[in-house]
Amino acid sequence: MSIEVRNLRKSFGNSAAVAGIDLDVPEGEMLVLLGPSGCGKTTTMRCIAGLETPDRGKISIDGRTVFDNQERINIPVNRRHVGMVFQSYAIWPHMTVFENVAFSLEMEGLGRSAIRTRVDKILELVGLEGFEERGASYLSGGQMQRVALARSLVMRPSVLLFDEPLSNLDARLRDHLRVQLREIQTQLKITSIYVTHDQREALALADQIMMMQEGEVLQMGDPVSLYNGPKTSEIAEFLGYSNIFEVNVVGERDGLCQLAFCEHARNLDAAFINRNGDRDLTACVRPDDVSIKPLPVTAGGDESSGVNAIAGEVILASFMGSHMQYRVRAGEHEIWEILCPEVNTEIRLGSNVLLEIDPAKIHVLPKQ
C-alpha cells in the first residue's frame, strides 16, 4: 500500500473541509479525487503533502507514518519527499528552467554533475531539452506545466500529487498534455493523487476515482464501473448524465418497471431499478444513450409503436465535429439532451423528431 489515509479530518473555522476520509492508493496507481470546488479534494491532498496540518487522522506514505495525531507525529512537508504539480504551476520566475528543476536535487545535496545528468534526463522525458537556460517567466503555459512536472519528477518522489494541473490550459493543449501525463505516470509507475473537477479528465487518467462532496466520499471505484453505475443522481449528474427527471414507479410489466414522471406527462420503462427504501427516485439518461431520428410524416400518432419512444421538436442543433448535439423539447418543460455520433442532415432546428431510449440505459437512482 503506497498511500494510506485513515479518518482524516480538517476544519477551517467551523466548517469541516474534510470530514473523516479513508483512502488507499496501491503502489504505482493513480487515484483521482473528483468533485465540485469546495468539496475538500484539494484540502485532502494538501494534508497528504504536509501543506496543511489535519485536525486528526493518520497518513502513511510507503508504510511510513507521516502524520498521526494520536502518536503526535507530523513530518514537515520538506521531509515527506512528495512531488506536487500546482494549479498555478508555481514556477519560480527568477530562475531558469534548469535552476527550477535542479532545486530539489540541490536541497538533497547532490553534486553538480549528478544534478546535471538527472535534470537533463527529466527535461528530455517531458520534451523540454534545449530550454535549460530559458528564464522561467518567458515560458508558455504548456511549457511551464512541463517544467512543473519535470521539477516534481526529478526528485523521484514516493508520491506525486497533482492539483488541477491542466485547468489553466486551453482545450487542445489540455487534451495533449493529459495523454502525455498518463503515459509518463504509467511508464514510471509513480503512485499519484490527482485532483480535478473535470469528469472527463478524471475518467481518462484514473485507476481509481474517489468522488467527494462537502468533505465526504460519495462513491469510489474504477472509471468504468463508476461511469456505468453511479449510486445517486447527484453523482450521475456530475458524471455527465444530462437527462435527469424525477419519477415514480407505477408498476411492472414484462420484466420492466414502469416509470411515471413526476412533473411531466411521460411514462417510460426501465430495465432495472436500484430502489433504496422510499427515497425520491430519478431517471438518469446519458445524452449519448438517446437515439434520435426524424419523425415519419405519414405515421401520425404512431408513438406507441416502439418502447420508450418520445416525439419532440429540435430547439437546438449544434455541430461538434465528431458528433452532433441536440436539444429536444418533448413537452412544455420537458427538455432532452442528445449527443449523436452521426450527422443527419434531415434533423435541423425545428424538425420534428422521435427519440428512443433502450430501457437498459435508463438508470433509476435515488437523489442522494
Partner 1 sequence: MTAIATKAQDRGATMQPVWGRTVLRNSPTFILMAVLGVMVIVPFLMLVFTSLVDVLPFSGEAEFNFTLSNYVALWAPALGHAIANTLVVSIGGTAIAMTIGCVLAWLAARTDIPFKPLVHLCGLMPLFISLVVASITWSLLAAGRTGYLNIIFDSMGLPFHINVQSLFGITFVHGLYYVPYPYIFVYSALTLVHPDLEEAAAVHGGSLSQSLRRVTFPLVKPAIVGAMLLVLVSTAEEFPVPSILGGPVGIETLSIRIYELATRVPGDPNQASAVSILLTAIVCMLVYTQRKILRGRDYRTLTGKGIQVRPIRLRWLKWIAVAFVGLYGFVALGLPILALIQGSIRGSLYIPNVAAFFDPKQLSLEHLIEAINSEEVHTGLINSFSAGILTAIFGGTLYFALAYVVNRTELKGRQILEYMSMVPLALPALVMGLGILWTWVSVPLPIYGTLAILVIAFATRFMPQGYRAVSSSISQIHDDLEEAAMIAGASRVQAVRRITLPLLRGAIVSTMFLMVVLSMRELTASLFLYTSNTRVLSIVIFEAYENGFWTSVASISLIYTTILVILTLVGRRWMRADL
Least gap, CB of 198 to partner 1 (angstroms) = 20
Which residue of 75, 220, 260, 309 would you call a contact of partner 1, by CB under 8 A?
75
Q: Does 301 bind partner 1 (CB under 8 A)?
A: no
Cα separation, 359 vs 255, in Å, equals 11
Is 137 a binding residue for partner 1 by CB under 8 A? The answer is: no
Q: Is residue 10 involved in binding partner 1 (CB under 8 A)?
A: no
Stretch 83-112 residues interacting with partner 1 (CB under 8 A)? 83-84, 86-90, 92-94, 103-104, 107-108
Q: DSSP 3-state helix, strand, coil percentages of the chain (rounded to 5)?
A: 25, 35, 35
For partner 1, which residue of 10, 58, 80, 146 counts as binding (CB under 8 A)?
80
Binding status of residue 17 toward partner 1 by CB under 8 A: no
* CA dist list (Å): 99 to 95, 107, 352: 6, 12, 63
- At 273, list the grid cell: 431499478
| Rounded Cα–Cα distance for residues 176 and 164 (Å) | 15
C-alpha torsion angle, residues 355, 357, 363, 365 (rounded to 10): 40
CB of 227 closer than 8 Å to CB of 211: no
* Contact (Cβ atoms closer than 8 angstroms) between residue 25 and residue 31: yes
- The answer to whether the Cα torsion of 311, 315, 319, 320 is positive or negative is negative
Q: Between 156 and 323, name the residue whose CB sits nearer to partner 1.
A: 156
Encode burial over 175-207: b for 16+ CB neighbours within 10 A, e otherwise: eebbebbeeebeeeebbbbbbbbbbebbbebbb
- Kindly tell me which residue out of 69, 96, 167, 186 binds partner 1, with binding defined by CB under 8 A: 69
In this chain, which stretch among 68-76, 123-131, 255-263, 340-348 interacts with partner 1, using CB under 8 A?
68-76
- For residue 184, state whether it binds partner 1 (rule: CB under 8 A): no
User: Residue 82, interface with partner 1 (CB under 8 A)?
Assistant: yes
Within residues 150-179, the interface with partner 1 by CB under 8 A covers 151-152, 155-158
Number of residues that bind partner 1 (CB under 8 A): 45
Contacts of 143 (CB under 8 A, 6+ apart): 128, 131
Smallest separation (angstroms) from partner 1 to the CB of 50: 8
* Three cell numbers written together for 191: 503512485
Task: Give the range of 120-128, 148-156, 169-177, 195-203 binding partner 1 by CB under 8 A.
Answer: 148-156
How many angstroms separate the CA atoms of 286 and 290, rounded?
7
In whole angstroms, the minimum distance from the beta carbon of 83 to partner 1 comes to 7
Residue with cell 476544519: 11
Alpha-carbon distance values, 351 to 110, 242, 320 (Å): 69, 21, 19
Min. distance of Cβ 186 from partner 1 in angstroms? 13
Query: Which string of x and - marks every residue 24-63 that binds partner 1 (by CB under 8 A)?
Result: ---xx--------------------x-x-x-------xxx
Query: Applying CB under 8 A, does 79 fall inside the site for partner 1?
Result: yes
What does the binding site for partner 1 look like in residue numbers (CB under 8 A)?
A: 27-28, 49, 51, 53, 61-64, 66, 69, 72-84, 86-90, 92-94, 103-104, 107-108, 148, 151-152, 155-158, 189-190
